Structure 1
């Protein structure tokens, strides 16, 4: 093994990481940055469903039209009843004209004018045959309206879910193409919120809002047409309600919106406090901070209560305010309609139908105001999803990749430079050779660049300059999948999925037999504790693996690496979560596992890497020393100080000795 690292940049190796809790999706009232552009792009997901959408529109129109005609038919039924009652109270053997003439002669001119437009047959009574026909017609109309509404909802459910299916598929494909840099610079909560909450919000809106818009539009147009056919004068009176309703609604919405924003802000802070307190309840108790935690909760809870009360109270005024205006409209229509009935200008059934239409007229107005608010939140959610879809993809694999039938495990860093931030260089001009079967330990203080080497080697990040080769082949000339299948990793942060212990171990080799799984478990000292569990290897691990200790979880991930049997091993503090005795056993197992394989061991506990073939000592992204444990201890340099600080209680207040210049680095570590 050899290396040459001519420059030691004074920069931090910390990667840009997303911190804190992610947003819980677009909150109600959140305004999009580009409403029409995002809405147009969102509607583009509906294009493949154009034919079903046309049927949805048609069914929505038909259902609404049938509902609109119903009040007019009910009015006809009222006319039949009213005319029948009046006819029954008139003398028989008299025509309608004679009855009107008799009323005028007796001074009842107004009554005569009122019955003028009516279908009166003195002495006949209610025409029940006609009334039954009207009621049957009404029953058919209501039935057809319900049928078309059901068909509309059924088709729209398919349209929305298929569109959301495409959107989720695009997001899933995008997540697979995004570089690690994206996940490092965005919090997990934010990414999950875009993939779940925001897409669910879009799905609900596509399911409901489109049909509501169609229904509201057809209802407004249809009701105005029907009202005009009944009475243009009453229609003009009813239309004055539109601007008044809109003014009142917008005024109240504007007032309540501020309170809703405060409510959602308070909800986020309260949830964050509860989550932090719950996850760290042991720390809270150890430092006797229960009282402070409770006070913080009480303050945020009170703030949330006030904001929620005000927002709900103010927004709740909309319905009473609109109802008040409706009642004024109802009084005006009733009085003026009654006068027109008395003067024979309208029938009683028409007045009744008109009152129903005026009631129907205000509902879509309020509905439209709600739709506008929902659309704002939905398009804001869509923008967040589209932001993810528009992120730059990971560099594609080469068109004609190099395939290595069997690798030997020689790795070389050739004049490699890299930085997470172009303005802050991290690694510059690194040269490193690792030979097949060599065990290389990488040590150094936090932020020295140890994990960065692994990220570059696995192509989670690509080098800025220079190249990394595997058996002489630039790893950028290989498919990432071909490269990574030769690596096995055991990380400090264990990752187990919900499933059995057997399935978690077999994750390293899909077609593994039970014998192979048990053999790997024994090699990693998993078999003993697994057999003490009630269900053995079929024990279900929950999502957070809380039914296993941290050490047991770590051992299972090590067993997974045993089973995968890779050519190259990467161990990142693999024994950091186990006790001393288990650590010794794992070290023995690791020595067997690493035998004949190229291995990289990242370690903070220097006792775990004393037997490594070569130790790389890193600081500020540079290799400052190299050699085995005995050689580095004799040099009494950077590694010596690190080792002594861990085991012999060296005074940590004194600065750790570092090579002064890059020339001194080369002289002290050249091999």
Structure 2
């Protein structure tokens, strides 16, 4: 069951050492990440360019005709409109011309009144509410602030002529704007794809590393670490890292680029208005700090409550059979309901914090917009700035708050990633306690001689399971170990496979200390059939072969026939391709045991270990197995552990263990004749037979 209390010990929201280590996983993909950063910079530039382009379109094209125009000779080399053999050049386009030329030039302005356009002599501020147009004879006068200006009525065709360049520019701007949108979309799609691909590859490698490391750990490690916790590390915690790699690592650059870009662009357009706009920044910083402090506390609570739910689910679903047997459904439901409510309350508190923080940011954003509209609007009216600048500022300020909200989300992701990485590295930093030596001896084959010399072993310090155990098993012998539960029988098997290391003494295989053997080649030469058979999800054939493609289909059928499993396999609709559900739940105990025998023999072991292999078998199946055992043990060293003494009577030797010590060794008949501990065990198991014989 997962220990949820460990979730409470969240480290810092950002740990430079952990981050440095996490970044080492990105090294093989540095080029992909660099491409993503470059693409994000391009996308950011596109985002920054859009309001500026719209500002240009508004001020230079849509409202550009309102600017005063210099009337020059038509051959003057400058951008303008030729009208009645004269070149009309707007003030912005006339910057490159000499002062002398401009001082001698006439100035004219296009104004609009009651839907009609006029060409007026002089620089006129375009505000229809502040001037009137009078017609006198065949000419027109513009009256403004007591001054009179000559005006000429422009036909629709003349007005279109003055707007010809504006229309052309707007078409070009529209194409550029569309191109920026399309290119930004392509770049954004490409970087999202590459970034997520890279992130998944990194997480794939981390999962592989964790799983590979777990496979190297000894059984004592799994004795101390619940399965639920380890599964959480490989799934939930790696997923938290995935979010960091995909949502924080690179996209953080975009948020920073965007914020810096917006500030620089606004200052470049109008320093005074930019400073007014950014005056709300201190309020944002204060709100973010308060939010960060509170969300960290709430986030920790949510993590703890979620871990409790996972723990409760794991325990209850695993023990559902027991719950049904003892009719504890209501009690367990109430317990889960209470845990679920605690989680609900924690998440509600988290939602409330976001519900307060986001509107506060929106209020601050609105205050910033109010300042821009108030101050910028007055400047537009006074002619200090253009309307397009005000429009761009409003857009930039709205954009400014998006990365700020994104950064608050990224803070949570980063906090989860730091906590998850700490727990993941805790696993990876746990050293393999059963290691191969510097030059391990690889076993190509084993004769089968096994020696224990004064072996002492304890799972925990000084709590000895085996005490000064010594015995020899010769090649080809069948030796049985018997004794009460806890006597140390199964521990002997674990030690022969070097699943654990002994504290004192020596264990030798064919005269070589197993500490100097390659542990993988050693285990390959030993076949084990356990009391509790574990079958994997797949097919019957897969469970016999265990992904070893060197074992042919014909060999699988042969070993199945050898252990009398072929007959029941053939009865399935798909025979050897019949699906096996999780842990072989659709098969009987006897069928699972027979498949375990077939699996062990398929790997052609030199040493065969039977750990209570027939204790869960019905009488009929036991007869089938006994028939197979007579054939299996020939030419092979066999170790059998059994409570049912009937299965070991033909063993060459029987070793009687009691409280970690060897009390008796001998054949079945020798031990009975001795009248010792084995005799007492046998008499207890076959009490009725003894009573009949005594009568």
TM-score normalized by the length of structure 1: 0.84
Matches within 5 A, 1:59-78: 59-78=39-58
Structure with the higher fraction of residues in strand conformation: 2
1:37 aligns with 2:17: yes
Look up the SS of the partner of 1:319 in the other structure. Answer: helix
How far apart in 1 are the matches of 2:389 and 2:268? 10
Which of 313, 317, 321 lines up with 1:278 in the alignment?
317
Could you tell me which residue of structure 2 aligns to residue 380 of structure 1?
Answer: 419
Of 554, 566, 579, which aligns to 2:593?
554
List aligned pairs for 1:245-260, cutoff 5 A.
245-260=284-299
**CA distance in structure 2 between the aligned counterparts of 1:625 and 1:569, rounded to whole angstroms:** 22
- Which of 580, 599, 607 matches 1:568? 607
| Aligned pairs for 1:445-594 within 5 A | 445-507=484-546, 510-594=549-633
Aligned counterpart, 2:112: 89
Does residue 370 (structure 1) correspond to residue 409 (structure 2)? The answer is yes
Between the aligned partners of 1:193 and 1:45, the Cα distance in structure 2 is: 20
Q: CA deviation at 1:400?
A: 4.6
Partner of 1:50: 30
- Bigger relative CO (Cα 8 Å, ≥ 6 apart): 1
Q: Render the CA deviation track for 1:426-445: whole Å, top value 9, x for unaligned.
A: 43432211122222222223
Asked whether 1:361 is paired with 2:400, we answer yes
Measured at CA, do residues 311 and 34 of structure 1 come closer, stay the same or move farther in structure 2, by a change above 3 Å? closer
Query: What SS does the aligned partner of 2:615 have?
Result: coil
Q: Please list every run of 5 or more consecutive structure 1 residues that lacks an aligned counterpart in the other structure.
A: 1-19, 110-120, 650-671
Tell me the distance in 1 between the aligned counterparts of 2:287 and 2:29: 38
Q: How does 1:73-472 map to 2 (within 5 A)?
A: 73-79=53-59, 80-84=61-65, 87-89=110-112, 92-98=118-124, 106-107=144-145, 124=162, 127-402=166-441, 406-472=445-511
| Aligned-partner Cα distance in 2 for 1:390–1:166 | 16
Q: Judge conservation of contact 2:13–2:415 (CA < 8 Å) in 1.
A: no
Maintained 8 Å contact 2:13/2:414: no
Deviates more, 1:257-266 or 1:308-317: 257-266
The structural deviation recorded for 1:412 is 0.8
Q: Secondary structure at 1:430's aligned position in 2?
A: strand
- 154-163 vs 338-347, which deviates more? 154-163
- Alpha-carbon contact 1:412-1:433 (below 8 Å) kept: yes
1:413 offset after TM fit, Å?
0.9
Deviation at residue 316 of structure 1 after TM alignment: 2.8
By how many angstroms is 1:489 displaced?
Answer: 0.6
Shift of 1:357: 0.6
Conserved in 2, the CA contact under 8 Å of 1:26 and 1:381?
no
- Note if contact 1:92-1:122 (Cα within 8 Å) is conserved in structure 2: no
Contact preservation (8 Å) 2:465, 2:659 = yes
Tell which deviates more after alignment, 384-393 or 400-409: 400-409
Match of 2:2 in 1: 21
Any idea what the Cα deviations from partners look like across 1:350-397, whole Å, max 9, x if unmatched? 111101111111111121122122112112222222222222135543
State the match for 1:9 in structure 2: none
How large is the RMSD of aligned CA atoms in angstroms? 3.2
Distance 1:419 1:293, change over 3 A: closer
> How far did 1:228 drift?
0.9
1: distance between equivalents of 2:356 and 2:385? Answer: 36
**Alpha-carbon displacement from aligned partner over 1:75-112 (angstroms, at most 9, x marks no partner):** 22233334558945155231451567996984499xxx
Residues 176-216 of structure 1: CA deviation (Å, up to 9, x unaligned)? 43333323322222223223332233233212222321111
**SS of alignment partner, residue 240 of structure 1:** helix
> Of the two, which has the highest radius of gyration?
2
Q: How far 1:339 moved relative to its partner?
A: 0.9
Q: Secondary structure at the match of 2:486?
A: coil
Count of residue pairs brought into register by the alignment: 618
Q: Which runs of 5+ in 2 are unaligned?
A: 68-109, 132-141, 148-158, 689-695
The 1:100/1:296 distance shift into structure 2, 3 A limit, reads: closer
The C-alpha deviation readout for 1:609-661, integer Å capped at 9, x for no partner, is 33333222223322233333444445554444444555549xxxxxxxxxxxx
**C-alpha contact (below 8 Å) 2:529/2:613 kept by paired residues:** yes
Distance 1:404 1:361 in 2: 67
Alpha-carbon distance in structure 2 between the residues aligned to 1:405 and 1:218: 61
Separation of aligned partners in 2, 1:34 and 1:527: 59
Kept after mapping to 2: 8 A contact 1:415/1:429:
yes
Equivalents in 2 of 1:559, 1:366: separation in Å? 61
State how far apart, in whole Å, the 1-side matches of 2:332 and 2:609 are. Answer: 42
User: 1 CA distance for matches of 2:277 and 2:558?
Assistant: 83
Deviation by residue 1:310-342 (Cα, 9 ceiling, x = unmatched): 322332332222112111221121111111111
Partner deviation per Cα, 1:146-182 (whole Å, 9 max, x = no partner)? 2332332243234334433443443344334333332
What is the TM-score normalised by the length of structure 2? Answer: 0.81
Aligned pairs for 1:585-604 within 5 A: 585-604=624-643
Note the C-alpha offset of 1:418.
Answer: 2.6
Corresponding residue number in structure 1 for 2:80: none
**Counterparts of 1:313 and 1:99, CA distance in 2:** 52
Shift of 1:402: 4.3
Summarize the alignment of residues 660-671 of structure 1 with structure 2, pairs less than 5 Å apart.
none
